[in-house]
Structure 1
């Protein structure tokens, strides 16, 4: 199982679009996301990055996804690129195979 975490904020070019243009852009992405969900991709959650978060990342929104396979995660990443998402949003991502706290603690000890 792969985990993918997105952190993003709107670029000025997005803010300059009308509400109708924003809605039309987002609506064209929807069917692609629904297709991935039908294949077993899970949206763990989307949210607004709380201003009161300790050591807050400088992004306004986040999303957490689970992908059954690495190939599906790559399909999602390609979809995001093809949709031109990064033209409208400044975004940074984190991803990797889901594992256990004990495994990560072990890795922290040996680094």
Structure 2
């Protein structure tokens, strides 16, 4: 079953303090680790800047949506991101889980215990 990771992130002051060359070096190191993740079936679906004008918009400035064939590959992605030093530069929130279709998800929601 396909698993997904959605990251929401905002640059920290440490990132804003880096000059362009230091940022390029960091991205080169991040890119070097992507081949191992690609071999596990990890794929970036979409990355971009969040739209703050939308109803209930996230407060984070950027997003990334990833998919992988299983939870182990997502765990490798999350570990790789942490090992890269990403969290030194970006405040990040992760949401991850197995994907389902609309009816399956509605069934998950309907099955929740209610409070009396």
TM-score per shorter chain, which class? over 0.9
Match of 1:9 in 2: 10
Which stretches in structure 1 are left out of the alignment for 5+ residues? none
TM-score, scaled to structure 2? 0.89
TM-score, scaled to structure 1? 0.93
Computed over aligned residues only, the root mean square deviation of the Cα atoms, in angstroms, reads 1.1
Query: How big is the shift at 1:38?
Result: 3.6
CA distance in 1, matches of 2:72, 2:109: 27
Q: Could you report, residue by residue, the CA deviation over 1:11-57 in whole angstroms, capped at 9, with x for unpaired residues?
A: 00110111111110111110211332243222111011012121100
Q: Does structure 1 conserve the Cα–Cα contact (< 8 Å) formed by 2:52 and 2:59?
A: no
Which stretches in structure 2 are left out of the alignment for 5+ residues? none
Match of 1:27 in 2: 28
Q: Could you report, residue by residue, the CA deviation over 1:54-84 in whole angstroms, capped at 9, with x for unpaired residues?
A: 1100011101000111111111111111111
Match of 2:73 in 1: 72
> Where does structure 1 differ by over 3 angstroms across 4 or more consecutive aligned residues?
none
CA distance in 1, matches of 2:39, 2:83: 20
Match of 1:91 in 2: 92
Alignment partner of 1:101 is 2:102:
yes
Match of 1:62 in 2: 63
Give the 3 Å change call, closer, same or farther, for CA 22–96 of structure 1 in structure 2: same
